[in-house]
Every structure is written in C-alpha cells, then in structure tokens.
Amino acid sequence: MRVAKSLVLVNTGDGKGKSSAAFGMVMRARARGWPVAVVQFLKSDDWVTGEQLMAEPLGVDFWSLGEGFTWDSDDLTRDEAEAREAWRHGKAVVEAGEHRLVVF
C-alpha cells in the first residue's frame, strides 16, 4: 500500500476566512471519500456550531472542546488547561491514523 506524505496547512491572519478555508478542505476531502476529523478549540461543547451541523451529516468526526471564547473568560488559566486538553485529544486523533484529514 502506498502511504501518502503528510502535509500541514496553517491558515492565519486577523481577518475573516480561516475557518471557511479549513471547512472548504473538509468538504473537498469528504467528497473524495476521505475520513475526516475536526477538533474545534475554545468553543463550548454545549454549543452546536454551524460547522458541526454541516460536517456531522457528511460523516465527519467532530469534537468541540473548551469553555467558550477567551475574550469572554474570567479564568484564563482554566482556558489554557482546556486548550491543552483539546490539543492532547487532537494529537491522539492524529496518532490513531484513522483520518486522512484532521482540522484543528
């Protein structure tokens, strides 16, 4: 079996479009039959986001981890711990090797 090379794509910037670009990749990957996972940071798992509503019916494994937006926080230490836990979860998803695309 041929093993595909790994690729890391980073979308950064102050403006809009980072999530749209990432979820465009999710849509393209699912259209090709790729197994896809999303680990969404700093959004409460009590919220169901539009991204999640779009992705899950397409078979995307989706985790929304955190306590909410950091600019609304009264406890940045807790938020840092939540982000570290989300990172550990995402790392475990990548290391499991079950998905061809993992979006953080």
Beta strands in the chain, from DSSP E residues, in sequence order: 36-41, 61-65, 101-103
The domain segmentation of the chain, as residue ranges, is 34-103
The 10s digit of each residue's pLDDT in 7-44 is: 788 889 888 899 899 999 999 999 999 999 999 876 56
The 10s digit of each residue's pLDDT in 43-89 is: 566 677 888 899 999 999 998 887 666 566 676 787 778 888 889 99
> What is the amino acid identity at position 103?
V
Considering only residues 12 and 5, tell me which one the structure prediction assigns the higher pLDDT: 12
* Alpha carbons 17 and 60: distance in angstroms, whole number: 20
Q: Does residue 97 carry a pLDDT above 70?
A: yes
Task: Choose among 33, 1, 18: nearest CA to 101.
Answer: 33
* Alpha carbons 75 and 96: distance in angstroms, whole number: 32
